[in-house]
Amino acid sequence: MKQLFTVLIAAGMMFVACDKNDDKNETPETLTNQTYVGTLTVDQTDSTTYTQENVTVGIAITDTAGMVLTFNQVSFSERMPVKIDMTIPHIEYTANGANYTLSGNNIVPLAMGGEFPKYTITNLSGTIADGALSVSMNCGGFPTKFSGSASKE
């Protein structure tokens, strides 16, 4: 009886040890949908910079469009009469744990129900790391940057 009790305790300890070891080997969750809030800056043709605060950028990873960035209710100039939602699909990305590196070139953005080839995205580069998103790109001929933190909502 004493040997059976010893075997049961040993088996229980192995189960607990395996369970704790599994926790240490978990891979981080993949980035599926996340929203970042931050600052958008656009270099204007007249050597000034337009800045919009509290811009939200949504990120999604899909099977068909790769990583997708959606800039919500943005304007790219003081003279722009309305704010728009602009989506940039087909962004290439690599993951290193919970960090991502973004890149893309010659991507036609979508806005107001259609494509906007006049504002083709070139030289897109960025990172997602430590709860922050940083992206730089040319939107048409306008150097554009976004820097923000993950939204808590």
Task: Give residue 4's pLDDT.
Answer: 37
Task: Give residue 153's pLDDT.
Answer: 65
Task: Give residue 53's pLDDT.
Answer: 96
Task: Give residue 13's pLDDT.
Answer: 41
Task: Give residue 12's pLDDT.
Answer: 43
Q: For residue 83, how many other CB atoms are within 10 A of its CB?
A: 14
Which residue, 125, 128, 129, 127, is CA-closest to 138?
A: 125
CA angle 139, 39, 81 (to 5 degrees): 60
Please identify which residue in the block is written with the tokens 């970042």. 36
Task: Give residue 32's pLDDT.
Answer: 63
CATH entry 3.30.70 includes domain 33-150: no
8 Å CB contact between 142 and 42 = yes
8 Å CB contact between 34 and 58 = yes
Q: Is the pTM of this model over 0.85?
A: no
Q: Name residues of the chain where pLDDT drops below 70.
A: 1-32, 153
- Which sequence spans correspond to the domains of the chain? 33-150
Task: Give residue 136's pLDDT.
Answer: 98
Task: Give residue 65's pLDDT.
Answer: 85
Task: Give residue 14's pLDDT.
Answer: 41
Which residue, 141, 142, 123, 136, is CA-closest to 49?
A: 142
Please identify which residue in the block is written with the tokens 């369970």. 19
